[in-house]
């Protein structure tokens, strides 16, 4: 048994006796997250919760930070995530959900040690802090070009007309995609959103499956062209490193070894295309509500990185993810029994007043240490450098563009029933600053 503390005789956590997540108002999506945080972060609020399905829910910042370091709080492997879908006997008609499962099994999200650190390193060699920082100038230029190409004086949608082209073309340039392919990959990644719904139907699964097929084919086709000898160092690097992996597949815990650079990239860049676009849109959403902050950033552009971090704390793209206890885990006087499913609510922890006083307030001076936007511990998001670079570049380009951006009045358009804080649309109007 792994022991996070020195406390004697910890007690087995009685999951069935915990209050439910739903009773605190959470049923998926950004509005529900807000409701949940207002209900649960009260002086007499609970320490732990459970889902209707019986998973332990961790949502307090201190608990999530401590548990992130626990090696046996494992990620769900493909078989746990997708049941027998991947091992069903072959048939002419693949089962519902197969295209998604067959894509996501290639994502290192669904692997544990010893495979996970090896695959992480392969990805980080290409998209870690150093290679990403080298793209700062070209990303800002790209964001500037996209803004300059949008019409002024008439509504444009930040989600579809700005964030998706930016994110699509960022990855597209690295993967040797045409602009059309790059945009298509971003759009299809968005169409896969029903995969992240808390309550799925046959129809929503079929929709996500259809999008997963197109998304994957688009990425794999480009990567196939630009692989070794095709002039794309990122693709060549991944293909080279992947060929050296010598670990057997283990769909039940360890994970699956992608067979090709195309499969590796399609799997791992799902978040690259999808979640990074949410980050860019959510950042703009928050800044448009805080024009005072934009004014400060205009004068002090060195604070843009801190502003993006605060935007993503306030509107975290990822609300929650699933884990499980692969051994009994002793934690702070409790034992989380082996086999328990655990929901980790990274997005709620960023709004825990014990860690972030006055959590609804945008505070540009707030230290970003301890942020849980990108998770924590051994599985912390390897795409965080790229995602924040893109969001930062968009803000820089906007402030440099000579354009003002104002939101079109109307209710916010968040997608509910979702594990993410995701805007369906964010209509804005761009205007030359001089006529503001
Ligand atoms: C703002 C945008 C993004 C957010 C908020 C985000 C958030 C997260 C979170 C919360 C985790 C789980 C960490 C944990 O369990 O400790 C994660 C893992 C991961 N993210 Fe991201 N992510 C974003 C963008 C990206 C991008 C751009 C990529 C790819 C290029 C990416 C690829 C991954 C992968 C592969 C993992 C699994 C890591 C592992 O299991 O070792 N993410 N992300």
One pLDDT digit (tens) per residue for the chain, 436 residues:
555 554 467 889 999 999 999 999 999 999 999 999 999 999 999 999 999 999 999 999 999 999 999 999 999 999 999 988 998 777 778 899 999 999 999 999 999 999 999 999 999 999 999 999 999 999 999 999 999 999 999 999 999 999 999 999 999 999 999 999 999 999 999 999 999 999 999 999 999 999 999 999 999 999 999 877 788 999 999 999 999 999 999 999 999 999 999 999 999 999 999 999 999 999 999 999 999 999 999 999 999 999 999 999 999 999 999 999 999 999 999 999 999 999 999 999 999 999 999 999 999 999 888 999 999 999 999 999 999 999 999 999 999 999 999 999 999 999 999 999 999 999 999 999 874 4
Distance (Å, whole) CA 270 – CA 192: 9
Map residue 328 onto helix, strand or coil. Answer: coil
In the block, tokens 């320490």 appear at 47
Spell out which residues line ligand 1, taking CB within 6 angstroms.
68, 75, 107-109, 116, 120, 127, 268-269, 271-272, 275-276, 279, 317-318, 321, 346, 373-377, 379-383, 386-387
By most ligand atoms within 8 Å of CB, the mutation choice from 238, 350, 374, 385 for ligand 1 is 374
227-229-234-235 Cα dihedral, nearest 10 degrees: 10
Tell me how far CA of residue 57 lies from CA of 1, 20, 45, 81, in angstroms: 21, 9, 14, 17
Give me ligand 1 centre to Cα 207, in Å. 23
Give me ligand 1 centre to Cα 427, in Å. 27
pLDDT of residue 3: 52
Is 310:363 a contact under the CB 8 Å cutoff?
yes
Backbone angles phi, psi at 74, to 5 degrees: -90, 160
Is 361:108 a contact under the CB 8 Å cutoff?
no
Distance (Å, whole) CA 243 – CA 398: 42
Atom 11 of ligand 1, nearest CA residue: 381
| pTM of the complete model | 0.96
- Would you state the structure tokens that stand for residue 386, as one six-digit string? 């790229």
Distance (Å, whole) CA 185 – CA 183: 5
């Amino acid at each position: 048994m792994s022991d996070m503390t020195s406390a004697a005789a910890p007690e087995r956590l009685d999951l069935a006796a915990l209050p439910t997540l739903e009773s605190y108002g959470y049923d998926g999506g950004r509005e529900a997250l807000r409701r949940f945080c207002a209900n649960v972060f009260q002086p007499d609020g609970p320490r732990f919760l459970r889902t209707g399905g019986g998973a332990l829910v961790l949502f307090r910042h201190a608990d999530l930070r401590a548990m992130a370091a626990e090696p046996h709080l494992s990620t769900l492997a493909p078989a746990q995530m997708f049941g027998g879908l991947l091992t069903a006997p072959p048939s002419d008609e693949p089962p519902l959900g197969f295209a998604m499962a067959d894509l996501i099994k290639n994502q290192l999200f669904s692997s544990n040690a010893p495979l996970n650190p090896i695959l992480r390193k392969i990805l980080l060699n290409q998209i870690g802090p150093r290679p990403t920082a080298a793209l700062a100038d070209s990303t800002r230029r790209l964001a500037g070009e996209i803004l300059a190409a949008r019409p002024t004086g008439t509504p444009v949608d930040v989600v579809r007309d700005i964030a998706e082209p930016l994110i699509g073309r960022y990855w597209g340039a690295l993967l040797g995609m045409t602009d059309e392919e790059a945009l298509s990959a971003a759009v299809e990644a968005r169409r896969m959103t029903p995969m992240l719904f808390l309550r799925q139907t046959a129809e929503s699964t079929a929709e996500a499956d259809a999008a997963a097929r197109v998304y994957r084919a688009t990425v794999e086709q480009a990567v196939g062209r630009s692989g070794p000898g095709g002039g794309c160092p990122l693709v060549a690097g991944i293909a080279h490193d992947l060929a050296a992996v010598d670990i057997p597949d283990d769909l039940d815990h360890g994970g699956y070894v992608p067979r090709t650079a195309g499969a590796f990239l399609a799997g791992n860049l799902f978040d690259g295309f999808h979640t990074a676009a949410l980050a860019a849109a959510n950042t703009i959403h928050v800044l448009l509500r805080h024009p005072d902050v934009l004014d400060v950033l205009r004068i002090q552009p060195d604070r843009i990185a801190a502003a993006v971090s605060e935007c993503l704390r306030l509107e975290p793209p990822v609300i929650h993810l699933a884990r499980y206890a692969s051994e009994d885990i002793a934690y702070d006087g409790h034992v989380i029994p082996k086999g328990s499913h655990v929901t980790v609510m990274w997005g709620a922890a960023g709004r825990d007043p014990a860690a972030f006083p006055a959590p609804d307030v945008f505070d540009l001076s707030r230290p970003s240490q301890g942020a849980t936007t990108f998770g924590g511990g051994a599985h912390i998001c390897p795409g965080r450098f790229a995602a924040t670079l893109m969001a930062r570049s968009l803000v820089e380009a906007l402030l440099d563009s000579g354009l003002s951006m104002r939101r079109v009045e109307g209710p916010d358009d968040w997608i509910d029933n979702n594990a993410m804080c995701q805007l369906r649309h964010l209509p804005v109007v761009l205007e030359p600053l001089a006529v503001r």
